[in-house]
């Protein structure tokens, strides 16, 4: 049995933001009548995490299979009468998501009316945040009501601690603070997982820009910073568990219709190293706090997703539970060393392959061969 992790992210956004267009471009999944019959349903798609390291390893080993890390994205068309977070609360794909991706309209197109009358990304970001907070407040209050009834029947230290944590959450929500901004850890975090609070999830803000905003000569990070500052999103990015990336859906549509070589040339003309869609996928992966280690060989070169701080034995379990159970040691070499030497044998000759035990904390880019006995 494999312990494969599927990272899950859910797209949110108001009408005319470009959310569904970006989802379809990232996942190649098209809408299939999700909001028919007045029912809110999510549609799921898988995106491959772009990683030039895996591409290089694949070129070195020429394996039968090339398997990148993936992120599962969900998108939803809300039924009539429900908007924003109101429609998310009861949809499993959104409650179970590891992160939320909020697509914000920053493009100015008179042919596409904005529901609120004017383009204002900071206003839209705050409006959605308020909806997430309000949805979570309802969940917290209902649980607190049940806890009060249960505690009147019998005292329980565990229930009392849950009540205290939820009281802290309610106070933050009533003050307009998302739960991702709270400094909760350990057992308190575990107590909240079952509630699947929306405002507790890491948040990626995706600014959907005008083509004119993609000024050549600026690095992607600089563009994001400029766009965020111009849109008044600085206060959001100062919060814990929040990041931003900038794209232009109009450009992405054009790129999607080009051959790979033409797409690369188009991006180069804009001063971009990769498409905005790849940046969204990678930023989501990074926001979730995951890294990739690699296994290589003639049969397969694969990127494996694990949380930062994962010890080697648990990382082995992502490949197969038998490997974790029978773990002996891990043969580890850094990506840069393997590429520079041209293969594992040369790395061994130069003493660059390390033998690590079960407690070794796997690093991003490690290439690992697990030794195990069953």
Extract the tokens encoding 75. 């998108």
Q: What is the mean pLDDT of the chain?
A: 86
How far is the C-alpha of 260 from the C-alpha of 277, rounded, in Å? 14
Task: Judge whether residue 230 has pLDDT over 80.
Answer: no
Confidence of residue 2 (pLDDT cuts 50, 70, 90): very low
Confidence of residue 156 (pLDDT cuts 50, 70, 90): confident
Extract the tokens encoding 271. 């001063």
How far is the C-alpha of 8 from the C-alpha of 70, rounded, in Å? 9
Instruction: Please list the residues that pair with 45 across neighbouring strands.
Output: 73
For every residue of 42-53, which 3-state class applies, written as one string? EEEEEEECCCHH
Residue 37 has a pLDDT of 47
Please write down the long-range contacts of 141-147, taking CB distance under 8 Å and 24 or more positions apart.
141/170, 143/195, 144/170
CB 244 within 8 A of CB 224: yes
Q: What is the DSSP string of 353-366?
A: PEEE-TTPBP-TT-
Vertex 229, ends 224 and 233: CA angle to 5°? Answer: 90
Task: Judge whether residue 97 has pLDDT over 70.
Answer: yes
E strand residue ranges, the chain? 7-12, 41-48, 65-67, 70-77, 99-105, 203-208, 242-247, 290-295, 300-307, 327-333, 354-356, 367-372
How far is the C-alpha of 358 from the C-alpha of 36, rounded, in Å? 51
Query: What letter does residue 146 receive in the DSSP assignment?
Result: H
How far is the C-alpha of 42 from the C-alpha of 20, rounded, in Å? 11
Any idea which of 150-164, 211-225, 257-271, 309-323 has the lowest mean pLDDT? 211-225
How far is the C-alpha of 218 from the C-alpha of 226, rounded, in Å? 10
Residue 228 has a pLDDT of 73
CA 114 to mean position of chain CA atoms: 27
Percent of the chain with pLDDT over 70: 89
How far is the C-alpha of 283 from the C-alpha of 289, rounded, in Å? 10
Cα–Cα distances in angstroms (integers) from residue 252 to residues 21, 241, 263, 274, in the given order: 9, 27, 10, 11
Confidence of residue 222 (pLDDT cuts 50, 70, 90): low
Domains and CATH numbers, the chain: 7-50+63-117+201-287 (3.40.50.300), 130-199 (1.10.150.300), 309-372 (3.10.20.30)
Neighbours of 168 (CB within 10 A): 15
Closest CA to 44 of 83, 71, 69: 71
- DSSP H or E stretch at residue 207: strand 203-208
Residues 55-93 have pLDDT tens digits of 999 999 999 999 999 999 999 865 444 555 656 666 778
Neighbours of 358 (CB within 10 A): 15
Residue 151: how many CA atoms within 13 Å on its side-chain side? Answer: 15
């Amino acid at each position: 049995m494999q312990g494969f992790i599927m990272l899950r992210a859910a797209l949110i956004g108001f009408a005319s933001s470009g959310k569904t267009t970006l989802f379809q471009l990232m996942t190649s999944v098209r809408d299939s009548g999700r909001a028919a019959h007045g029912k809110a349903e999510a549609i799921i798609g898988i995106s491959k995490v772009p990683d030039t390291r895996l591409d290089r390893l694949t070129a070195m080993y020429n394996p039968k299979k090339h398997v990148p890390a993936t992120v599962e994205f969900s998108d939803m068309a809300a039924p009539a009468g429900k908007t924003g977070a109101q429609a998310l609360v009861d949809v499993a794909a959104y409650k179970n998501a590891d992160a939320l991706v909020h697509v914000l309209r920053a493009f100015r197109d008179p042919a596409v009316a904005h529901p609120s009358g004017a383009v204002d990304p900071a206003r839209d970001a705050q409006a959605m945040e308020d909806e997430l907070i309000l949805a979570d407040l309802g969940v917290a209050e209902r649980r607190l009501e049940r806890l009060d009834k249960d505690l009147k029947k019998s005292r329980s230290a565990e229930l009392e601690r849950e009540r205290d944590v939820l009281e802290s959450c309610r106070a933050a929500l009533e003050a307009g603070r998302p739960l991702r901004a709270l400094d909760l850890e350990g057992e308190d975090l575990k107590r909240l997982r079952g509630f699947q609070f929306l405002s507790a999830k890491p948040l990626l803000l995706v600014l959907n820009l005008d083509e004119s905003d993609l000024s050549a000569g600026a690095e992607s990070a600089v563009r994001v910073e400029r766009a965020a500052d111009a849109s008044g999103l600085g206060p959001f990015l100062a919060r814990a568990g929040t990041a931003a990336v900038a794209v232009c859906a109009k450009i992405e549509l054009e790129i999607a219709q080009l051959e790979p070589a033409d797409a690369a040339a188009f991006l180069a003309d804009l001063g971009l190293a990769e498409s905005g869609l790849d940046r969204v996928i990678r930023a989501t992966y990074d926001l979730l706090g995951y890294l990739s280690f690699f296994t290589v060989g003639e049969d397969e070169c694969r990127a494996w997703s694990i949380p930062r701080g994962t010890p080697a034995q648990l990382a082995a379990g992502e490949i197969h539970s038998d490997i974790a159970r029978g773990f002996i040691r891990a043969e580890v070499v850094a990506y840069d060393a393997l590429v520079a030497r041209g293969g594992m044998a040369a790395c061994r000759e130069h003493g660059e392959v390390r033998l690590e035990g079960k407690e070794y904390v796997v690093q991003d880019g490690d290439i690992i061969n697990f030794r195990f006995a069953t």
